[in-house]
Amino acid sequence: MKTVSVFGATGSIGQNTLDLIKRDPQAYDVVALTGGSNVTQLAADAIALNADVAVIDDPDCYAELQNLLSGTNVEAASGSAAIVEAAKRPCDWTMSAIVGAAGLAPGWAALEQGKTLALANKESLVTAGPILMDHANQHGATVLPVDSEHSAVFQALIGEDIAAVERIIITASGGAFRDWPLEDLPNASLAEASNHPNWDMGQRITIDSASMFNKAMELIETKEFFGVRPDQIETIIHPESLIHALVGFADGALMAHVGPHDMRHAIGFALNWPVRKDLPVQRLDLAAIGSLNFKAPEAARYPALQIARDVMDEGGLMGAAFTAAKEQALDSFIAGDIGFMDMAPVVAKTLDTMTSRDGLKNVKMTLDTVNEIDQLARVRAIEITKTLR
- Based on CB atoms, which residue is closest to ligand NAD, 52 or 123? 123
Distances in Å between the Cα of 259 and the Cα atoms of 89, 256, 282, 297, 362 are: 34, 10, 8, 22, 43
Rule CB under 6 A: is residue 205 a binding residue for ligand NAD? Answer: yes
Taking CB positions, which residue lies at the least distance from ligand NAD?
A: 11
**For 146, phi and psi rounded to 5 degrees?**
-115, -20
Dist CA 327 CA 331 (whole Å): 6
CB of 134 to ligand NAD, least distance (A): 21
| Binder of ligand NAD out of 180, 199, 316, 371 (CB under 6 A) | 199
Name the one range near ligand NAD by CB under 6 A: 18-26, 65-73, 92-100, 326-334.
Answer: 92-100
Dist CA 124 CA 365 (whole Å): 13
Looking at residue 275, the DSSP 8-state letter turns out to be S
Closest C-alpha among 183, 173, 219 to residue 339: 183
Any residues with CB less than 8 A from the CB of 85 and at least 6 apart, and which?
A: 77, 109
Rule CB under 5 A: is residue 147 a binding residue for Mg ion? Answer: yes
User: What is the chain's alpha carbon radius of gyration, rounded to the nearest angstrom?
Assistant: 20
> CB–CB of 92/112 below 8 Å?
no
3 state DSSP class of 7: strand
Q: How far is CA 186 from the centre of its chain?
A: 26
- Based on CB atoms, which residue is closest to Mg ion, 123 or 147? 147
| Binder of ligand NAD out of 156, 263, 348, 373 (CB under 6 A) | 263
CB of 147 to ligand NAD, least distance (A): 4
Rule CB under 6 A: is residue 97 a binding residue for ligand NAD? Answer: yes
User: Site map for ligand NAD, 35-54, x if CB under 6 A?
Assistant: xx-x----------------
Rule CB under 6 A: is residue 151 a binding residue for ligand NAD? Answer: no
CB of 355 to ligand NAD, least distance (A): 25
Residues that bind ligand NAD (CB under 6 A): 8-14, 35-36, 38, 57, 80, 83, 97-100, 102-103, 120-123, 147, 199, 201-202, 204-205, 263
Residues that bind Mg ion (CB under 5 A): 147-149
